Amino acid sequence: MYESYFGLQETPFALTPDTRYFLRAETHRQALELLLAALQQREGFIKISGEVGTGKTLLCRMLLNALEGNAVTAYIPNPHLSPDGLYEAVADELGVDMAIEGNTHRRVKAISERLIMLAEDGRTPVLVIDEAQAMPEETIESLRLLTNLETERTKLLQVVLFGQPELDAMLDRPSLRQLKQRITFQQKLQPLDRPAVAQYLQHRLAQAGYNGPVLFEPVAVKMIGRASGGIPRLVNILAHKALLAAWGRGDRAIGRWHVRQAIRDTDSVQPRRWYWLGSWT
């Protein structure tokens, strides 16, 4: 629609988690560095949590890309599985033939043998679970039992959990205290602050091929930051709608009116929330 009008090669604020658009804002940079350092140290469990829309899935894909060629990764994007379903998913990701395995014990044994083989080859298996808050409690407990697999010197499987704050609440249950004690590193993704929102908008425009004068006026950036609370997904939605509003009127810059129209058209933002942790006052 508006791409050619603004000199863009593609839509800059799409909601799909494209790693080309990953911005190394402070909170996301720290989380990625933590993940890579912890995995290098062969820690057992690592947890990354954050509110909806803060960029967990994009960070997850950045991690998988960084591990490519250096580790054997098993990625489970939808972990709402039974314990046996989890074992089958892990086995499938690790290349274990489960066709002949008839019960849970044999499934775990087959996975264990595969992990030992990978360890002997000097290859590090990493299980990455997105949306981990969707896991039933019995499945999380099965995950803990799976990570009991180890040699005398090292864990055979490392696990990274990405989840919403509901995951933190779930792990606070007394019944899951053993698993919680195994989480050696954790990080909570924070919303973008005011300077980071401006950087975020510029970064995505540049990645989409924009090479012109400043497109979002300072007042527009401020309004987008305030209404979105610094949540990247909401920033994308508001910026996209503001561009549509400007294109529809034949305007070449995004100002107050365009963002106001975007805010009014978006139920998931709070038009009257003119603050975020003091950064937007």
What is the 3 state secondary structure string of 215-280? CECHHHHHHHHHHHCCCHHHHHHHHHHHHHHHHHHCCCCECHHHHHHHHHCCCCCCCCCCCCCCCC
Please tell me the predicted confidence (pLDDT) of residue 162: 97
pLDDT exceeds 50 at position 145: yes
Other residues' Cβ atoms within 10 Å of the Cβ of residue 159: 25
Please tell me the predicted confidence (pLDDT) of residue 260: 95
Give 87-139 pLDDT, tens digit per residue. 989 999 998 876 655 677 788 888 888 988 888 888 889 999 999 999 999 99
Domain assignment present for residue 6? The answer is no
Same domain, residue pair 76 and 154: yes
Same domain, residue pair 138 and 225: no
Domain boundary, last residue among 188, 218, 240: 188
Domain boundary, last residue among 128, 159, 188: 188
Same domain, residue pair 145 and 202: no
**Structure confidence at residue 280 as a pLDDT band (50, 70, 90):** very low
Please tell me the predicted confidence (pLDDT) of residue 153: 66
| Helical pair 232-249 and 218-228, crossing angle rounded to 10 deg | 140
Please tell me the predicted confidence (pLDDT) of residue 69: 82
Q: Give the domain range for residue 162.
A: 26-188
Domain assignment present for residue 51? The answer is yes
Please tell me the predicted confidence (pLDDT) of residue 281: 44
Domain assignment present for residue 2? The answer is no
Please tell me the predicted confidence (pLDDT) of residue 275: 41
Same domain, residue pair 160 and 242: no
Please tell me the predicted confidence (pLDDT) of residue 278: 43
Same domain, residue pair 106 and 229: no
Contact by Cβ (8 Å): 64, 75: yes
Structural domains counted in the chain: 2
Helix (H, G, I), strand (E, B) or coil at 42: coil
Same domain, residue pair 177 and 196: no
pLDDT exceeds 90 at position 236: yes
Please identify which residue in the block is written with the tokens 């997904």: 233
Residue of 181, 48, 42 whose CA lies nearest to 115 = 42
Q: Average per-residue pLDDT in the chain?
A: 89
Domain assignment present for residue 252? The answer is yes
Give 42-101 pLDDT, tens digit per residue. 877 899 999 999 999 999 999 999 998 888 999 999 999 999 899 989 999 998 876 655
Please tell me the predicted confidence (pLDDT) of residue 274: 43
Same domain, residue pair 184 and 208: no
Give 2-51 pLDDT, tens digit per residue. 999 999 999 999 999 999 999 999 999 999 999 999 998 887 789 999 99
Same domain, residue pair 44 and 173: yes
